[in-house]
Structure 1
Amino acid sequence: MRLQLSDAVRELPWFRQIASRIILLWPLKAVGTSLFMALFFWGYFGVLESPLRAAVVMPVTAVDRWVPFTELALPVYVSLWLYVSLMPALLGSFRALLYFGFWVAALCLFCLSIFWLFPTEVPAAGIDWALYPSMALIKGIDAGGNACPSLHVASAVFVACWFQRMLYGMKAPPALHRLNWAVCLLIVWSTMATRQHVVLDVVAGAAIGLLFALRALRDVERCCKGGAI
């Protein structure tokens, strides 16, 4: 079984590499991503149901009041799962896939530990969620205790950094680099526009996502051929 893209494929234009990257190890990527998601949600809801102590309400800042609520942000908020799943699907080697899986798992475990030890929640938004059925569903499932740091933001920033490295290695045009960061920023915005998080959650999540990404990509640089992913 082929464990990485050939040098010839890596020299192709970025748009001609896409199919080869998706096909490479696709059964492992599909099963691994599905299993990871299942285990994550099992641990996530388990932590929310059994926190160590009562959740502390996060303070609201002027920035939170400046960002208006909109139900239109919900599809962007949910798109994180597609964004995160695309990264392993496009990785070009088994070793890079292992490093990504290890570090994204470490990121999730770190944040879940914080949620369990120091649970926090967003303040009441003063919105009648019955008027927004799709939002009411999320609010009913996503109990308090997971506000700070925002794992949504941490995951988006972590994956954006990996995409940046991959796009650089593929010699993708600057427009794709900008698109990658635009998607990341939209997801960050959606966490506040849906009232799932306040800005302090976002800042903490972004810092954690960036720190984990830098450490992970440093390991990739050291252990993978030329840092190629």
Structure 2
Amino acid sequence: MNENDQQAPWYRQAVAVIPRHAYLKSIGTTIFISIFFVAYSYLLKDPAYPPTVMPRTLLDHLIGFQPLALPIYISLWVYVSLPPALLATRRELHDYGMSIAGTCLAGLIIFYFWPTTVPAAHIDWAPYPDVDFLKSMDASGNACPSLHVATAVFSGIWLHYLVRRFGAPLWIIICNWAWCAGIAYSTLALRQHVVVDVLAGLVLGVLAAYLSLERSRSSDASFI
């Protein structure tokens, strides 16, 4: 960003960045999500070993089933598209893409060699056709670590970094983390994951985001 961009209000800086490399961002994000779904679906059906059932904790029992959490759960695919949309250069897009790909690949490798599943929820899904459809599309396997949580946390940390770089107000930062927390909660409320899965996804997302941001800052410093 040039000096004039940095002096502009945060929202104008964001709007100015979004159209840059728009084709690369849109096509790259679409291809990445498509490839991920193919690999994820394959591992659901053909892991290397029988799946381990993850244990429930006290917190799992305290968090009730909530079908209204479905829109928040699905909103992950919008949420993970925001950080690349706010990147300005091809180098940033490349580095970010490699980092999120590495995060997902780490999860997929774990799913293949240590497949896991959540315990049976013992819920009649018939009154909840939308949730029942989710269950048919995304069976409760590939549980630990939760890549839903890992990618949300990875995106949340990057969004925090980017909106602060733009000079966004506190309420934007709070909204970002509320959205991220809502996605993590939705995985429990819909019985797609248990707390152990969420914690493992949190660790994976934080570690991957930290390493990628450190690499990004080092690259930026080398150009100063």
Is contact 1:96-1:224 (8 Å) kept? no
Is contact 1:153-1:206 (8 Å) kept? yes
Question: What is the match of residue 40 of structure 2?
Answer: 44
Q: 1:226 to 1:160 in 2, by over 3 A?
A: farther
TM-score normalized with structure 1 length: 0.94
CA distance in 2, matches of 1:70, 1:144: 16
Question: What is the match of residue 138 of structure 1?
Answer: 134
CA distance in 2, matches of 1:91, 1:10: 14
The aligned amino acid for 1:142 is D
Question: What is the match of residue 16 of structure 1?
Answer: 12
SS in 2 for 1:104: helix
Task: Identify the match of residue 169 of structure 2 among 166, 169, 173.
Answer: 173
Is contact 2:14-2:166 (8 Å) kept? no
Q: Does 1:127 align with 2:123?
A: yes
Q: Does 1:102 align with 2:101?
A: no
Is contact 1:77-1:190 (8 Å) kept? yes
**Comparing 140-149 and 93-102, the one that deviates more:** 140-149
| Cα offsets for 1:105-145 (capped at 9, x unmatched) | 00000001111110000001010112210111111121343
Q: 1:226 to 1:23 in 2, by over 3 A?
A: farther
How many residue pairs match? The answer is 224
Task: Identify the match of residue 112 of structure 1 among 108, 115, 118.
Answer: 108
Runs (4+) off by over 6 Å: none
Is contact 1:51-1:145 (8 Å) kept? no
CA distance in 2, matches of 1:141, 1:167: 34
Deviation at 1:18, TM superposition (A): 2.2
CA distance in 1, matches of 2:47, 2:169: 46
- 1:1-229 aligned within 5 A: 5-224=1-220
SS in 2 for 1:130: coil
Deviation at 1:91, TM superposition (A): 1.1
TM-score normalized with structure 2 length: 0.96
CA distance in 1, matches of 2:202, 2:222: 27
SS in 2 for 1:72: helix
The aligned amino acid for 1:193 is A
Q: 1:9 to 1:144 in 2, by over 3 A?
A: same
CA distance in 2, matches of 1:93, 1:67: 42
The unaligned stretches of length 5 or more in structure 2 are none
Q: Percent identity?
A: 44
CA distance in 2, matches of 1:78, 1:110: 22
